[in-house]
Amino acid sequence: MRLILASTSPARLSVLRAAGIEPVCYSPEVDEEAEVAVREETLGRAMTAAEMVEYLGMLKAEDVARRHGPDLDGLILGGDSAFLLDGETLGKPHLPEVALERSKAHRGRTGVLHSGHWLIDHRGGKPHAAVGEVDTATVTLAADVSDEELAAYVATGEPLELAGGFAIDGLAGAFIERIEGAPSCVIGLSLPALRRMVTSLGAAYPELWNAQGGPDE
């Protein structure tokens, strides 16, 4: 049983590969800001961060299913992540100065990472059912990380395209003092949530193991 990943995120891909799953990857074509604006207008209110990441995960999975449908035989996974500090949703910093400002604000404090998922049962080349789930973890940045250390990290470019601006599985691992929740959730794809969703669709999670270290090796 193949997992089709509606994402080109290197972080999500690395999480799956480390878990013994080699997915087929497709790039979703979703204008996230526009879609969120339309959804919020329909709702008549702003979406919570948890609602937003699940909604965007759904749109990404459905987009890939719609554009590549007959060629896809397996489970299609879409996902999105959002990091909150003081209740404010912080997207990818993109710019070094933004990443540095946010990392200084996070220092010695705890942020919340929401990872949204949407899984479509597309076995046999057609959709049967779908399920979504949001997993949440908290991330505490060490209080004694110096300005120089943070500037050096930002200068590597690693945090610029990461929600929250830190990669626990990368260069910033030494700066993160504590995580509560699934470590994979912080990276951008919660493996416990994926297992629960696969099971709820009537499939067996171990059937996804097809990479090095899996039963098909």
Residues 135, 192: contact at Cβ < 8 Å? yes
The CATH number of the structural domain formed by 2-208 is: 3.90.950.10
This prediction has a pTM of 0.90
Which residues, 6 or more positions from 197, have their beta carbon under 8 angstroms from its beta carbon? 117, 119, 131, 132, 133
Please, what is the end-to-end C-alpha distance for the chain in angstroms?
Answer: 15
d(CA 153, CA 159): 8
pLDDT in tens, 79-103: 999 999 988 888 788 999 999 999 9
The catalytic residue among 31, 63, 73, 80 is 80
Identify the band that residue 149 occupies on the pLDDT scale cut at 50, 70 and 90. very high
What mean pLDDT comes out for the span 121-126?
94
Distance of CA 15 to the CA centre of its chain: 10
pLDDT in tens, 164-187: 788 788 898 899 999 999 999 998
pLDDT in tens, 36-73: 999 999 999 999 999 999 999 999 999 999 999 888 99
Residues 211, 17: contact at Cβ < 8 Å? yes
Residues 111, 179: contact at Cβ < 8 Å? no
**Residue 86 among the catalytic residues:** no
Q: Is the pLDDT of residue 217 over 70?
A: no
